[in-house]
Structure 1
Amino acid sequence: MAIVTLSSILSASCSLIETAELHPDARDVRMFDSYEQVEKCAFIKEIVGTEGHWYNYIFITNKDLTLGAVNDLKNEALSLNANSVHVHTNMSFTTSVTILGQAYRCERARI
Structure 2
Amino acid sequence: MSLKHKPTWRSAVIVAISAVILAGCTTPMNRLTPESKKVHLRMDSGFNADNCIWVGEVAGNEGHWYSYLFFPNDVLIEGAMYDIKNHANEIGANTVFVVAPQDFTTSFSIMGSAYICEQLEP
Per the shorter chain, which TM-score range? 0.7 to 0.9
5+ long unaligned stretches in structure 2: 1-7
Is contact 1:38-1:84 (8 Å) kept? no
Distance 1:71 1:91, change over 3 A: same
Instruction: Count the aligned residue pairs.
Output: 111
TM-score by length of 2: 0.77
Q: Within the alignment, does 1:31 sit opposite 2:41 as a pair?
A: yes
What fraction of aligned residue pairs are identical, expressed as a percent? Answer: 33
Give the aligned partner of residue 64 of structure 1: 75
Larger CA Rg, structure 1 vs 2: 2
Q: CA RMSD in A?
A: 2.5
Q: Which has the higher helix share?
A: 1
Matched, 1:78 2:89: yes
Written as runs of structure 1 = structure 2, the 5 A alignment for 1:1-111 is 1=8, 3-7=11-15, 9-10=17-18, 13=21, 18-33=28-43, 34=45, 36-109=47-120
Sort the Cα spacing of 1:35 and 1:102 in 2 relative to 1 into closer, same or farther, 3 A. farther
TM-score with structure 1 setting the length? 0.84
Q: Give the drift of 1:40.
A: 2.2
Please list every run of 5 or more consecutive structure 1 residues that lacks an aligned counterpart in the other structure.
Answer: none
